[in-house]
Amino acid sequence: MQGRVVIVTGAAKGIGRHASHTLAKAGAKVVLADADVERLHKTLGEVLKLGAEALAVPTDVRDEKDVRQLVYKVADRFGQIDALINDAGIVPHFNWGIPRWPRVRLLSYDFWNSVIQTNLGGTFLCSKYVVPFMEERHSGNIVNLWGGGRPENHGAAAYVVSKDAIRTFTRFMAEEEREWNVCIVAFSPKQAIATEDAPAEARQRLPGPESLGNGFVLAAQAGMEMTGKTVEHRDGKLVAVD
């Protein structure tokens, strides 16, 4: 990853923060994007301490103007965009033992839209704006975070719908970008993750983001044989699971 420029959305905490750290350690120039400005700059400080060149850009991935500004700021600063990690999302975290989201019949339309527009809409907007720069160089990687769920998990409908749509979006966009040598994958954490915001009980019971190892480093440089696939990190390797 030496010298490569990578944008990570949702970079302020959790999986995005972990991805930013591992990419920085691998030599990438890391651009951290998140709507939580205070925590974004805290994570920026951590990445800079790792010796990486880094930039923090406060960004609401639901806002097209914000996303456009993010991408052009990165292009102006570094002259290229080699990879995008679409991590920003709203997640129910039922496995943490916290209250469930409402069932569909009780779910507000505003909340539904917030989840869909953040998870799916943000993935769409960020991908839309980075690919012209990747096509110009005939090279690039986009990594979209995917996560599953079971119908018996009442309250998870908005989240699972957004993530299933991301998987489909990945497959279709991968075919559109194949001729430009842009590899697009859906990355699955494989299991529930307890981030730094999880209750102590959940952090003791569930693996943390560090369990993903260097998965994002591998995904950010995956070859075209992986494009359109859903992948996992297993034993230090990137493995296609569909």
**What CA–CA distance (Å, rounded) separates 34 from 145?**
15
Give the mean pLDDT of the chain: 94
Residue with tokens 């806002």: 63
Residue 185: helix, strand or coil by DSSP? strand
Outline where 79-156 has alpha helix (H): 109-116, 122-137
pTM, two decimals, is 0.95
pLDDT tens for each residue of 134-185 = 999 999 999 999 987 666 677 789 999 999 999 999 999 999 999 999 999 9
Buried b (16+ CB within 10 A) or exposed e, 27-51: ebbbbbbbbeeebbeebbeebeeee
Report how far residue 126's alpha carbon sits from residue 66's, in angstroms, rounded to the nearest whole number: 10
Q: How many structural domains compose the chain?
A: 1
Which range marks the domain in which residue 216 is found?
5-240
CATH no. for residue 75? 3.40.50.720
User: In this predicted model, what pLDDT tens digit does every residue of 37-93 receive, in sequence order?
Assistant: 999 999 999 999 999 999 999 999 999 999 999 999 999 999 999 999 999 999 888
d(CA 185, CA 220) in angstroms, rounded, equals: 9
